[in-house]
Chain A
Amino acid sequence: MSLGLTIAVPRGALLGETLDRLDALGLDTGEVRSNDRKLLFGDIGVVTMRPSDVPTYVEAGAADVGITGKDVLTEQPDREVYELLDLGYGRCVMVLATVEGPDPSVEALRRLGVMRVATKYYKTAAAYFDKTGRQAEIVEVKGSVELAPLTGLVEAIVDLTATGTTLRENHLVIREELFVSTARLIANPVSHKLKAAAIDAMLEKLRAP
């Protein structure tokens, strides 16, 4: 069975709990769990993708609703989607971190006027330093952000951390917390009106403890 909705489901860290929630709605997600190459599961109305692609599909109406992290939504602030529900799981913190010892970003700001910050979250980081009145050069990297301050590329990083283990292993310490990120249910603005009953029914079941 399906809910009469196309649901964009994130692969990666959020996948397991997301499928548990969909099971609780009465969808049979067995095939999604067992087949990690297949992307489209038409009979239950599920499409799977990278979390950062979920807002793209939902905004365009290729999916009616989707589940993704608040970190993704914060990084894509212009997306025309409804944010309907904080699902609570997938808890991570967006942090500013540097190497241990005296904070090198403070010295960079004091003596050079600008700190260099590596991140995968360019807009999130830029907005944060604007908001806190600091001049920062944002260096966008695609791979392991932790490497950047260890090699002297930057003085600090902005990154998402769940347990802090990777930071600790690389001798990085958290200096500031930007915000807490959890999984969110989002909806396409047109589907939100034209499929109101199906979306509200889904919302109500997801809210139920």
Chain B
Amino acid sequence: MSQIVDTSSVIHPIPSGTRDVLPDEMRELRDITEAVRGVFEMDGYGEVWTPALEYETVIGRGGGPPPAYRVFDDHGEVLALRTDMTIPIARLVATRYRTAEPPLRFCYFAHAYRGVRPHRGQMREFLQAGIELVGSPTPQGTAEVLTVLCHALTATGLRGYSIGLGDASLYRTLLRSLDIPGAAGDRLLAALGGRDFVALESEIGRLDLDDADAQLLLSVPQIRGGPEVLSAAEGPVADAVDGLRRVHDLLAPDVADRVIFDLGLIRDLGYYTGAVFEVYDPALGEPLGGGGRYDDLLGRFGRELPAVGFALGIDRLHIALTGEEKGAGT
């Protein structure tokens, strides 16, 4: 029999998109972060902390999403809660490691803050585990990071995951090679970023293109699957596709088997320059994390070094592990 719940007691709310973690859940989260930390440390990635608050100008320089939470400090400077750890680590490398010999390897376990619509697996305050590999160009650096990513996921006990691998510069390259004017190109990119292939098709239809070019613009971002699908993407995107193939060739079989090529992969963060990737598991309807190359970002902070990294959402990883336990998505 159900009971009437007493609702008369005073409640003290917490901000939208935040939550408390109690001991049972905390033990499970701790198991995950310890497993991941073990892999990061073993592979030579030293853990760092940076302030949760940065100057807003630092975050703006990184070109990421605008911060959702801002405050004034005692001198009237605008501070912001970090939106990810990649920009703070770029700042850290450019200031604390100005003359250090690359490559540099860092890992972190830290909360970041974004003004998203909160739901399970994506709160406004969320814990990320990730690495940054600074000073190691593609394909070796990219392959190393993908390898660490797979080892970390396997160490948590996750079984069914795949890694979607694409290239952030691919569609821009395609637009340039077909001489699509800037404004029209931006509309196509906006449709692609909004995951709206209907809008993409209608925008392509408004351009004065021959059928083959129009078909290329529409079909390339829908190419995804094993290495065999890459043969369908020749011509203007051949360079980007070759880059992905070279990364794939460097991967050990246990990692390579996890990779799905995805030529339409778009990451929301603005600083990616080359290979990008996302982690999928059939037990969860959204990516567990992702990353990619950001070869220009360090230069914006005064140290020109290529870099690559990823971040995993610990809450999402936890949900996926729980789902796999129950047999979801199989």
**Residues of A near any B CB (own CB < 8 A):** 59-62, 78, 80-86, 184, 188-194, 196-197, 200
Chain B interface residues (CB < 8 Å from chain A): 117, 162, 164, 194-199, 201, 222, 224-225, 260, 262, 278, 280-282, 284-287, 329
Q: Report, nearest first, the 10 A-B pairs whose CB atoms are least far apart.
A: A61-B285, A82-B195, A83-B196, A190-B280, A86-B198, A60-B285, A196-B224, A83-B198, A193-B164, A188-B285
* Distance of A202 Cα from B198 Cα, bound (Å): 16
User: What distance in Å separates the Cβ of B196 from its nearest Cβ neighbour in chain A?
Assistant: 4
- Please determine whether B285 and A85 come into contact, CB atoms closer than 8 angstroms: no
B residues in contact with A62, CB < 8 Å: 285
Would A61 and B280 count as touching, CB distance under 8 A?
Answer: no
Decide if A189 touches B287 in the complex (CB within 8 Å): yes
Bound-state CA distance A60–B195 (Å) is: 16
**With A and B bound together, what is the CA distance between A82 and B266 in angstroms?**
12
Whether A184 contacts B285 by the Cβ 8 Å rule is no
Q: Is the CB of B287 within 8 A of A190?
A: yes
A82-B197, A83-B195 known; A190-B225 Cβ under 8 A: no
Output the least CB separation between A209 and chain B (Å). Answer: 16
Contacting residue for B162 out of A59, A85, A192, A194, CB 8 A: A194
Interface pair B199/A196, CB less than 8 Å apart:
no
- Inter-subunit contact A80/B195 (CB<8 Å): yes
Known: A78-B117, A84-B197. A190 touches B224 (CB 8 A): no
CB distance from A132 to the nearest CB of B (A): 20
Of listed A62, A84, A188, residue having the most chain B CB within 10 A: A84
Q: How far is B195's CA from A191's CA once the two chains are assembled, in angstroms?
A: 13
Between-chain CB contacts (< 8 Å), 16 pairs: A61-B284, A61-B286, A78-B117, A80-B286, A81-B195, A83-B195, A83-B197, A86-B201, A184-B198, A188-B285, A189-B195, A189-B286, A190-B286, A190-B287, A194-B282, A200-B222
Chain A positions within 8 Å of B286 at CB level = 59, 61, 80, 189-190
B169 smallest CB distance to A (angstroms): 20
In the complex, the answer to whether A190 meets B285 with C-beta atoms within 8 Å is yes
| Cβ distance B77 to chain A, nearest Cβ, rounded Å | 32
Q: What's the Cα separation between A194 and B286 when bound, in Å?
A: 11
* Inter-chain contact A61/B117, CB cutoff 8 Å: no
A194 touches B280 (CB 8 A): yes
A196 to chain B, nearest CB (A): 5
In the complex, chain A residues whose CB is within 8 Å of the CB of B260: 193-194, 196
The CB with the most chain B CB atoms within 10 A, among A184, A188, A193, is that of: A193
Residues of A within 8 A of B281 (CB): 190
| Chain B residue contacts of A192, Cβ below 8 A | 224
Q: Output the nearest chain A residue to B262 by Cβ-Cβ distance.
A: A193
Max chain B CB contacts within 10 Å: which of A60, A62, A78, A190? A190
B68 to chain A, nearest CB (A): 14
Given the known inter-chain contacts A193-B164, A193-B260, A194-B162, please indicate yes or no for A84 contacting B285, CB distance below 8 A.
no
> Nearest Cβ in chain A — how far from B118, in angstroms?
11
C-alpha gap A84/B260 in the complex (Å): 20
What's the minimum C-beta distance from A198 to chain B, rounded to whole angstroms?
12
In the complex, which residue of chain A has the Cβ closest to the Cβ of B225? Answer: A196
Known: A190-B280, A190-B282, A193-B280. 10 other contacts (CB 8 A): A61-B285, A83-B195, A83-B196, A83-B199, A84-B198, A86-B198, A190-B281, A193-B162, A193-B164, A196-B260
Give A86 to B199 CA distance when docked, in angstroms. Answer: 9
B194 to chain A, nearest CB (A): 8
The residue in chain A whose Cβ has the minimal distance to the Cβ of B196 is A83
* Chain B nearest CB, measured from A169 CB (Å): 33
Contacts of A200 in B (CB 8 A): 222
Minimum Cβ distance to chain B for residue A4 (Å): 12
Q: For residue A64, which residue of chain B has the nearest CB?
A: B285
> For residue A60, which residues in chain B have a CB less than 8 angstroms away from its CB?
285
- Give the distance to chain B from A45, nearest Cβ to Cβ, in Å: 14
Q: How far is the CA of A85 from the CA of B281 in the complex (A)?
A: 25
Distance (whole angstroms) from the CB of A127 to the closest CB of chain B: 14
Q: In the assembled complex, which residues on chain A have CB atoms less than 8 Å from the CB atom of B197?
A: 82-85
Chain B residues whose CB sits within 8 angstroms of the CB of A84 once the complex forms: 197-198
The answer for the CA separation of A193 and B329 in the assembled complex, in Å, is 14
Interface centre among B194, B198, B260, B278 (most CB of A within 10 A): B198
B124–chain A nearest beta-carbon distance, Å? 14
The docked-state distance in angstroms from the alpha carbon of A159 to that of B284 is 35
Chain B hits for A82, CB < 8 A:
195-197
Partner of B285, one of A59, A83, A86: A59
